[in-house]
Chains A and B, each alone.
Chain A
Amino acid sequence: MEKKSGSPSKTAGKPILCKAAVCRAAGEPLVIEEIQVDPPKAWEVRIKILCSSLCHSDVTIWQSNTSPLAVFPRILGHESVGEVESVGEHVEEVKEGDRVLPVCIPTCGECRECKFKKKNVCSMFDVKRQNAMPRDGSSRFKDLKGEVVHHFLCLSSFSQYTVVDVSQVVKISTEIPIDKACLLSCGVATGVGSVWKVAEVEEGSTVAVFGLGAVGLAVVEGARLQGASKIIGIDPNPAKFEIGKKFGMTKFVDPTACGEKSVSQVIKELTNGSGADYCFECVGLASLVEEAFASSAEGGRTILIGFDISGTPLKLNSLDLLQGRSVMGSFLGGVKPKLDIPVLVKKYLDKELNLDGFVTHEVSLEEINKAFDYLLQGKSIRCLIWMNK
């Protein structure tokens, strides 16, 4: 049993001992432990994770004590980039050494959702069964005591090695730097995809973005790329003003500094009284989605990206809907991973898509808990965690 093998063929077919950041209780710091990662079974790929980053959805789930989301011990992390170490039977689309992004939605290519142009949430696997391998429901991780460690979103990237179903593996070019590639496995793909595929923002339109975290900034970048004429960013953190401008934001609204006015009133004033053509909620609060909806123009689209774990229902006025407004949700930005992520990679390589500025912090695997602190304290956009350095 060798650790950190330089030549993949030596470890193929055998369990690997390596380090992982294990979550043993909700909201508790992750513990760096040695774990055993089983070889990939049929249709599976074992991946050496190069780097991973912390997404707010990891934090939301990490803090949660309510089943069925809560299962312990588990390995979190779902935004990452890696290299294929070995593949199981039937895997032909990737081989040892390939650069890959593990992603949270499968692309089976066969189901209704994969075949429909407008959909992207592949129905191959049951979204609820995400704490184990999707085909046989078992785990590939064991701790040193031999006890099962659960998966997360069938990805688990806070580990030096992980096993992922081939339907969730996207092969990418090695030309794109690793720290940029990592962003395209979740946050930036979600933001840019929401603009490009879900909202279909057109040149000259007006856009409002609620929440300027990584996803919100990626929405700003996506809107800039589509030629939006006005991009209004809304965030209570004034530091987001400068960083938003770099991505193309044209106006900034601090909701805590609007006085008597509601944010929707301010946005209407900024858009000649009409409201914005497209409003994106990138925080995860039903009440903010309602504010975003109230900020939209007649015929405007409100896109819900943030994850509100509380289960609070969204309350909308039917009369507002009748004036042609719509509300749509975006999971991974409406992106069909295997088809669309390589397109985003190309846009980056062609110098159209700007990925500079998203990564604000970097830590080693041992310091992974700092990444949580930086995010919770509102200091970071994306903190990279170098897994194999």
Chain B
Amino acid sequence: MDNSSSPSETAGKPIICKAAVCRGPGDPLVIEEIEVAPPRAWEVRIKILCTALCHSDVTFWKLNKAPLSVFPRIFGHEAVGVVESVGENVEEVKSGDTVLPVFLPNCGECRDCKRKKGNACSEIDTVMHHVMPRDGSSRFKDRNGEVIHHFLFVSSFSEYTVVDVSVVVKISPQIPVDKACLLSCGVTTGVGSAWKVADVEEGSTVAIFGLGAVGLAVAEGARLRGVSKIIGVDVNPSKFEKGKIYGLTDFINPENCGEKRVSQVIKELTGDGADYCFECVGMASLVEEAFESTRVGGSTIVIGVDLHGTPLKLSCFDLLMGRSVKGSFFGGVKPKLDIPLLAQKYIDKELNLDGFVTHEVSFQDINKAFDYLMQGKSIRCIIWINP
């Protein structure tokens, strides 16, 4: 029974619905009929309203390297949905609630969740995200009864998905669905990196390497804190105009620097280096450039995912004199505590979420979202699943 209007009709039963399945690295997704099992204990089955493509989906989609890549798989991890039914022991959400599934668990009970600092959750093993975390099995089957793997605990490229309650964030239904979706990954990562990981202060100077959705969200977060300079670095000149909406004051195109390195240009613009440099692309060499671009005592925040595991080389002396390098996982945000706060800031008209969504497609056209992103045309493309 797909697209059921009354969740109680499907509760406890498998749901047959459509999903965009990936059967091989880099292969176009195929819309197939799948079966979604009911939620077990501590699980929530969600009807996905819309989802967006994040570059991390693309990175994993292209990857052909066990054990990180498994096929067939349902990608997607930035989404908003409505709870269809819940398994035993789930009390914090119920059918009908508007929720964001997120890729970072937040059980709220473990030592790390209780610590004020940081956002690790030691309850759930984040490495094994291709299956349900508590029992290691999948809730998806294709028409032949074969297992389809999960992705980042979310798998939002499906009309219905099942997630662990530790990754479900309840949010206000007041926030428009296409804006809410952004808060389940990209924008929260960017704003959180500026506020929680870097903790940028008024009057400081910021440089952002890579002006995709995350980089622009860093700019928005920095703007809200009253930062005095926001320098955007990107090879795509159209990102400058876009970035200005979020407070960008200067723009550097690395291809137009001539003999100079980007770090030199940043030093010239800031009188010796930026207080905070954010790497939002995912290349060790760019992190090193960002580090070079900081002033004495400056901080480099690493957000982009470099899956090659290329080592970073840093100067001990520069670190000794007070510089730092900080990794940002989901913007240092504790999802269940911090995302509702961001949603409220949007509702209160402080946080600007306009302009992130540049394209929209139907579920059938999901592969266009990949094209738009890889061609550098989009910031965020929303895929309407259950509009």
Could you list which residues of chain A lie within 8 angstroms of chain B, going by C-beta atoms?
113, 116-121, 123, 127, 200, 202, 204-205, 274, 286, 289, 297-299, 304-305, 307-308, 311-331, 334
Contacts and interface: CB of A to CB of B under 8 A. Distances in A.
A363 B119 CA distance: 50
B327 A113 contact: no
A119 B118 CA distance: 21
B316 A313 contact: yes
Contacts of A289: 316
A297 B126 CA distance: 14
Contacts of B309: 317-319
Contacts of B321: 121, 127, 329, 331
A307 B297 CA distance: 16
11 contacts: A113-B296, A118-B201, A118-B297, A121-B322, A204-B115, A299-B120, A307-B320, A308-B320, A321-B327, A326-B325, A328-B326
Interface in B285-327: 287, 296-297, 302, 305-307, 309-327
A127 B320 CA distance: 13
Interface in B80-136: 112, 115-120, 122
Nearest to A274: B122
Nearest to B311: A315
Contacts of A116: 201, 204, 275, 297
Q: Max chain A CB contacts within 10 Å: which of B314, B320, B328? A: B320
A273 to B, nearest CB: 9
Given A202-B117, A321-B302, A323-B327, A119 B316 contact: no
Contacts of A204: 115
A329 B119 CA distance: 22
Given A322-B327, A326-B326, A297 B120 contact: yes
Contacts of B120: 297-299, 323-324
Nearest to B296: A121
Given A324-B118, A329-B319, 12 more contacts: A121-B322, A202-B115, A274-B122, A299-B117, A311-B316, A319-B306, A322-B327, A324-B327, A327-B324, A328-B324, A328-B325, A331-B322
B305 A330 contact: no
A305 B119 CA distance: 26
A195 B317 CA distance: 20
B16 interface: no
A332 to B, nearest CB: 9
Interface in B18-59: none
B313 A315 contact: yes
B325 A327 contact: yes
B74 interface: no
B316 A314 contact: yes
B24 to A, nearest CB: 24
A321 B1 CA distance: 44
Given A299-B119, A311-B317, A322-B327, A120 B312 contact: no
A334 B307 CA distance: 33
Interface of B: 112, 115-120, 122, 199, 201, 204, 275, 284, 287, 296-297, 302, 305-307, 309-329, 332
Contacts of B305: 322
A37 to B, nearest CB: 30
Contact of B316 (A286, A325, A326): A286
Nearest to A120: B322
Contacts of A314: 313-316, 319
A8 B112 CA distance: 58
Contact of A318 (B275, B284, B296, B322): B284
Nearest to A123: B296
A299 B104 CA distance: 13
A295 to B, nearest CB: 15
A342 B268 CA distance: 37
A359 B310 CA distance: 45
B324 A313 contact: no
A322 B302 contact: yes
B205 to A, nearest CB: 9
Given A299-B119, A308-B316, A316 B325 contact: yes
Nearest to A290: B311
Contacts of B311: 315-318
A326 B204 CA distance: 20
Contacts of A319: 306-307, 309
B294 to A, nearest CB: 12
A309 B307 CA distance: 32
A311 B316 CA distance: 7
Contact of B324 (A200, A274, A320, A329): A329
Given A318-B302, A327-B324, A121 B297 contact: yes
A297 B199 CA distance: 21
A331 B316 CA distance: 12
Contact of A313 (B306, B315, B328): B315
Nearest to A326: B326
B320 A304 contact: yes
Contacts of A117: 201
B119 A324 contact: yes
Contact of A316 (B112, B116, B199, B314): B314
Contact of B323 (A274, A316, A329): A329
Contacts of B310: 318
B329 A329 contact: no
Contacts of A202: 115-117
Contacts of A200: 117
B322 A330 contact: yes
A321 B120 CA distance: 13
Contact of B329 (A308, A311, A322, A331): A322
Q: Max chain A CB contacts within 10 Å: which of B296, B310, B319, B329? A: B319
Contacts of B297: 113, 116, 118-121
Given A119-B297, A321-B325, A327 B314 contact: yes
Contacts of B322: 119-121, 328-331, 334
Contacts of A330: 320, 322
Nearest to A327: B325
Contacts of A304: 316, 319-320
Contacts of A316: 311-312, 314, 325
A248 to B, nearest CB: 21
A321 B312 contact: yes
B321 to A, nearest CB: 5
Nearest to A310: B316
Contacts of A205: 115
B7 to A, nearest CB: 36
A222 to B, nearest CB: 17
A315 B112 CA distance: 27
